[in-house]
Structure 1
Amino acid sequence: MVKGAKILGFMFNAQKSLFPVSWSFEPGIPDRHIPETWVTLMLGTHKELTNGRGGGREPYISLWDDEGRRLGQHWVENYKYIPDNNDLNKHVYKIQHLQNRDPSRTTRYVMISQFKLDDICLAAVQVSNGKESTVWHGDLGEYCGVEWFLSERSLPGKPDLKPKCIWLRSEKGGARSISWHTNDMLGTPSKLEQYKKDQKKYLCESTPRFGWWYNLGPSATPPFYRPPLKYAFDKEAKQEGGMLSPTDTFDMKLNHFDKDVAWMNNPAGTWDKMTGTEILKLGKRSQQPEPESPEAQQPEASNSTERRDIKRRGFNKDPSHLIITEAEGHEASLVCNSSSSYGWDVASRREGKYCDMTVRKLYDLCDSIHKSNCFDLERKVLVGHGGISARGEVSALGVPKKAYDSTAHWK
């Protein structure tokens, strides 16, 4: 089979309809079944957007088999950062299965946790042991309401596919951990047809399939399917297909799982939808971290100045940075019209729009038609109701003042 030809994941088009993605990072896939899991992280941001410190500090990575038994973990070394380049060879984490009596077991559940002070924005995660390979894309997180932003980076070899990236960050309101059921990320035809029957319910209201957490520590366990799900075979893709009992996977009620728990009493994956077993809510953000994770709880804004700064920034990660883009799929209206976007101000040449991310307000780019209450791309300022005078003086009436120290140009 041609490299990258297998369907390992799925994404969403502009109409939020699912489509399969035949992409893989071959150096991140072992050439045979091995007793470890290789996890490849693809980020959506550059060092220019992270204070020159790469993609942020490395996250914790935890793995479980289909029975909910832990296989292994990548534990973070102090002050080790993810490389800021787009060389995925440097983003492959090879995790040995040292926490299970049978190291040949295949990873079926993954949790990625960021409990350092640096934010990271994940665009894609490939998981493989040589026997089974899958790819999770950030589009799913955005679809289900996780904080997200546009990604400059496309899938290597697929320049038109730019997954959205989702934030793992320590500030209040941001997810610190995400978890998912790996084989449910396969984008095979019968699996996607099943999801499309009720996308939100299958993908966002079936928490073991995909969940996100404000405070779930790296030594905690997310919910698992018990008993393990059974699947049909997709004859067209010659891979795993849809579930045999699909509706058994739905959460019993909306918000069934408390996203603010710090850890869960779920040592063997005992969540059982059929018997109504509840996950115990053992810890909140205000409580002490679990003993195995001394950095699991980072303080929220430490003083009044920091709290005021966070409030002033609104949904803007850095008001002094501007992104100017020409790419399709990077329309400013996407981030402005979303209730979960978080990032930088965006000016889209293709769309002719500008988004002030502090308040998520959309403006036209100034041109021969729009001469006031618009964004002047050349001056990089908002033009108020008075427009620009004959002497070049820019009106600030009715618009916020903008001052950019840096600009990124996305193609």
Structure 2
Amino acid sequence: MLTIHKSQGGNVPHVALWSEKGERIGQSNPGKSKTKAGGDSIIVIEHSQAADENETPGYIMLSNYKVDAICIAALYITETHTSTAWYGDYGYKCGMSWGLSKEEIGAERAVPKCVWLDGDGTNGINSQAMSMHIKDMVANSDRLAQYQENPDTMCKSTPRFSFWGDLLPDSRIPIFDPELEYETDSCTFSDLIIIL
């Protein structure tokens, strides 16, 4: 399940999921659906394109190929094996067009920046789509410190996180090949909130 927390209304983006091996698992095409400013859009993506319907997603891509831009403050990705949050501050640090969010998020009532996705690039918006490696967005103190000390480890690692000026919904995204392996880190349950 994907929850999109948006600061500004606009077209709901097309969402696609891939496995760690880069095989498409499922996608959601919103058609002409639009959202109002504030609040959440909940999108359930059936794993209808996966050989195994229990496949855990490794990558996600959001693409707004319509002309009504949307500014996304946060994404919450909930799966059986993985739950994570992504905030617009990540996209801002990596150079995405952004706006000031009016929405407070989480117990700390943080106000992250929102990042724009727009199908026709009007008003200088530089991204139609964004993609990310889900495991690399799971919060822990080591990863957060790495991204803060050296943002290039996120922003210049195309499979980890990227934004695109012209990536259409059926496009493929870069993946890590071979798959990444992770070491144990110093994460504790108090590390579950990311504020950049």
The residue type equivalent to 1:162 in the other structure is V
What is the aligned counterpart of 1:205 among 153, 156, 159? 156
* Counterparts of 2:90 and 2:112, CA distance in 1: 9
8 A Cα contact 2:140 2:186, kept in partner: no
Work out whether 1:61 is the aligned partner of 2:15: yes
TM-superposition CA deviations, 1:271-308 (whole Å, max 9, x none): xxxxxxxxxxxxxxxxxxxxxxxxxxxxxxxxxxxxxx
**TM norm structure 2:** 0.88
Partner of 1:111: 61
Counterpart of 1:99 in structure 2 is 49
Matches of 1:109 and 1:131 in 2, distance apart? 14
Greater C-alpha Rg:
1
* Alpha-carbon distance in 2 for matches of 1:216, 1:187: 27
1:238-283 CA distances to partner (integer Å, 9 max, x unpaired)? Answer: 7xxxxxxxxxxxxxxxxxxxxxxxxxxxxxxxxxxxxxxxxxxxxx
Structure 2: gaps spanning 5 or more residues = 190-196
* Alignment partner of 1:214 is 2:177: no
Task: State the partner residue of 1:148.
Answer: 98
Q: Using CA pairs under 8 Å that are at least 6 residues apart, name the structure with larger relative contact order, 1 or 2.
A: 2
**Corresponding residue number in structure 1 for 2:145:** 193
* Residue pair 1:114, 1:177 contacting (<8 A) in 2 also: yes
Residue in structure 2 matched with residue 129 of structure 1 by the alignment: 79
Query: What residue in structure 2 maps to residue 139 of structure 1?
Result: 89
In the TM superposition, what is the alpha-carbon distance from 1:83 to its structure 2 partner?
4.0
Looking at structure 2, the residues matched to 156 and 204 of structure 1 have their Cα atoms a distance apart, in angstroms, of 25
1:130 deviates by 2.5
Q: Normalising by structure 1, what TM-score?
A: 0.43
Q: Cα distance 1:230–1:158, how it changes in 2: closer, same or farther (>3 A)?
A: same
Corresponding residue number in structure 1 for 2:7: 44
Q: Distance in 2 between matches of 1:182 and 1:68?
A: 13
After TM superposition, give the deviation of residue 42 of structure 1 in Å: 0.4
Kindly provide the amino acid, as one letter, of the partner of residue 70 in structure 2: I
Alpha-carbon distance in 1 for matches of 2:185, 2:174: 27
Q: Deviations over 1:101-154 (max 9, x none)?
A: 011111111110111110100000011113210111100111111100110001
CA displacement at 1:235 relative to structure 2: 4.5
Amino acid at match of 2:62: I
Matched, 1:181 2:181: no
**Alpha-carbon distance, 1:193 to partner:** 3.4
- Identity fraction in percent: 33
Task: Indicate if the aligned counterparts of 2:130 and 2:162 stay in contact, CA closer than 8 A.
Answer: yes
Question: Kindly tell me: are residues 196 and 157 of structure 1, through their superposed partners in 2, closer, same or farther at Cα, counting changes over 3 Å?
Answer: closer
Cα separation, 2, equivalents of 1:156 and 1:201 = 27
In 2: Cα distance, 1:147 partner to 1:83 partner: 20
Unaligned runs of 5+ in 1: 1-37, 46-54, 239-411
Question: Residues of 1 paired with 2:98 and 2:111: CA distance?
Answer: 13
Amino acid in structure 2 at the alignment position of 1:181: H
Q: Is the 8 A contact 1:136 1:182 kept in 2?
A: no
Classify the secondary structure of the residue corresponding to 1:142.
helix
The aligned residue for residue 225 of structure 1 is 176
Q: How far has the Cα of 1:156 moved from its partner?
A: 4.1
Asked whether the equivalents of residues 65 and 109 of structure 1 are also in contact (C-alpha less than 8 Å), the reply is yes
2:81 match: secondary structure: coil
Aligned pairs for 1:360-371 within 5 A:
none
Kindly report which structure 2 residues correspond to 1:235-314, keeping only aligned pairs within 5 A, or say none.
235-237=186-188
On the 8 A contact 1:150/1:165 being kept in 2, the answer is yes
Classify the secondary structure of the residue corresponding to 1:141: helix
How many residues align? The count is: 186
Secondary structure at the residue paired with 1:139?
helix
> 1:85 and 1:163, CA in 2 relative to 1: closer, same or farther beyond 3 A?
closer
Q: CA 1:171–1:191 in structure 2 vs 1: closer, same or farther (change >3 Å)?
A: closer
